[in-house]
Structure 1
Amino acid sequence: MIKNNLKKLIITSVVILLPIIAGLILWNKLPDSIPIHWSFAGEADNYAGKGFVVFAIPLLMLFCHIVCIVATALDPKNKNQSKKPMDLIMWSMPAVSLLLAFVVYAQALGYSARVESIAFVFVGVLIIVIGNYLPKCKQNYTLGIKVVWALENEENWNATHRFGGRLWMVGGVLLIACAFLPAPWNAVLFVPLLIAMTLAPMVYSYVYYKKHPSDSKEEK
């Protein structure tokens, strides 16, 4: 899988590291201490040194990117995986890297922005995109909703991912709506929504398994 996507892996890795170039260009304008984490109210509550922000964060993201790609490539069930879920894996970390760099550098240079709103919108859009791709994701051990009942039965897997895809697309829209709510109401709705979107497909898969026990026995 890596060999077939080597060009794409190189391109996405370069994109992840682009914030280093931007940081070097802005180096003399950046303060020594830069905010890297914000509360749900949009207030900075954690800081890091300029060198860490410019160099370490993109390199850490590159490391995570490569680990995800390698783990996905080592999964024997991903050999015939659909192209779209693989593209999503390839481009998720570059998107996060660019957005984080934009927000961090903008804040460091004194530009005002509702960081929490940007984060909510980004997560919501990402969830919608993932929800759109979930039904296209074939049975495997690294991508999708990996509960035992779905992994043991292809029909369960397909049904769970159709349900999860619809749920995540609706949930993504609701997460975006949280961006327009004041603190603490944005967090009050955002966190439970994420938990519900995570747990509901698992429960659905289990209920499907209980309703179709013969399907699982036949596959075994």
Structure 2
Amino acid sequence: MNGVHRFGIAAAIVVLSGVASLLAAPSLPDQVVSHWNVAGEPDGTMSKTAALALFPALSAGLLGLFALIPRVDPNRAKIDEFRPSYDWFVVFFTGFLFVIHVGIIAFNLGYEFDFVALLVGSLAPLFYFVGFVLENAKQNWFVGIRTPWTLSSEAVWNRTHELGSRLFKLTALVMLVGLVFDAYAIYFLLVPLLVTAGVTIAYSYVLYGRLEETAPTSRGR
């Protein structure tokens, strides 16, 4: 399956999101619940029109951006090296937005469920796949763990992404465990994600410094 077909799947998901909005519109109230607190309690609303348009429009816009990135990146040849995993991430991400959109619709149609659990449960497989993308990502300007140090050294990029891949996959598993703890599930998302971000940034900085320190010695030999 080539990139055009993979993006075709993502585009079909965007269309389904719009169809879901059109089908649900007659049955929804003028104001719909659109936000939940960390305990899973509704605490925000927006107009039906805005809510039904938000995710289809967001999905379409992001899909266009994802299609553009491989064309404008100066290192687009590097993106081509892991293009299948990049494209499948786009499909997974579009699918995630679709699930959340349908969840909002279902909640406002009167179906009772824990929306935070839906969010965490949907993000877990997405994050696991992010780990897979990081495992394959080559040095580029748009996709991956882009710090000043990973962008300055291919060795730092590769080793940071090896670590980041493992941490994102671990974060996904921790998130699934968090579903057992109901009201605390959101913290099983936020805490590992923040730790992963902090560790990978710090690791790239420290690793770059170590490699810079040893580089002159290696050249002298």
Q: Structures share a fold, TM > 0.5? A: yes
Q: Distance in 1 between matches of 2:100 and 2:11?
A: 15
Q: Distance in 1 between matches of 2:175 and 2:102?
A: 21
- Cross-structure match for 1:48: 46
Paired residue type of 1:61: S
User: Does 2:139 align with 1:139?
Assistant: yes
Deviates more, 1:90-99 or 1:193-202: 90-99
Aligned-residue offset at 1:41 = 1.2
Q: Distance in 1 between matches of 2:25 and 2:185?
A: 34
Q: Distance in 1 between matches of 2:4 and 2:88?
A: 15
Paired residue type of 1:161: H
Aligned-residue offset at 1:16 = 1.3
Deviates more, 1:203-212 or 1:85-94: 85-94
Aligned-residue offset at 1:89 = 4.0
- Cross-structure match for 1:102: 102
Q: Distance in 1 between matches of 2:51 and 2:7?
A: 23
Residues 66-95 of structure 1, C-alpha deviations (whole Å, 9 max, x = no match): 123323431121223212332134214421
Could you tell me which runs of 5 or more consecutive residues in structure 1 were left unpaired when the two chains were aligned: none
Q: SS of the counterpart of 2:141? A: coil
Q: SS of the counterpart of 2:146? A: coil
User: Does 2:32 align with 1:34?
Assistant: yes
Q: Is the 8 A contact 1:34 1:49 kept in 2?
A: yes
Q: Which has the higher helix share?
A: 2
Q: Is the 8 A contact 1:117 1:180 kept in 2?
A: no
1:69-80 alignment, distance < 5 Å: 69-80=67-78
Q: SS of the counterpart of 1:37? A: strand
Give the TM-score taking structure 1 as reference length: 0.87
User: Does 2:54 align with 1:59?
Assistant: no
Residues 104-139 of structure 1, C-alpha deviations (whole Å, 9 max, x = no match): 111011111111011112222211111122121000
User: Does 2:179 align with 1:176?
Assistant: no
Q: Is the 8 A contact 1:65 1:93 kept in 2?
A: no
- Cross-structure match for 2:15: 17
- Cross-structure match for 2:194: 195
- Cross-structure match for 1:155: 155
Q: Distance in 2 between matches of 1:215 and 1:118?
A: 48
Give the TM-score taking structure 2 as reference length: 0.86
Q: Distance in 1 between matches of 2:151 and 2:15?
A: 35
Residues 16-71 of structure 1, C-alpha deviations (whole Å, 9 max, x = no match): 13122122223322222211111111111111222222224311321122123323
Q: Distance in 1 between matches of 2:168 and 2:25?
A: 40
Q: Is the 8 A contact 2:7 2:91 kept in 1?
A: no
Q: Distance in 1 between matches of 2:215 and 2:15?
A: 45
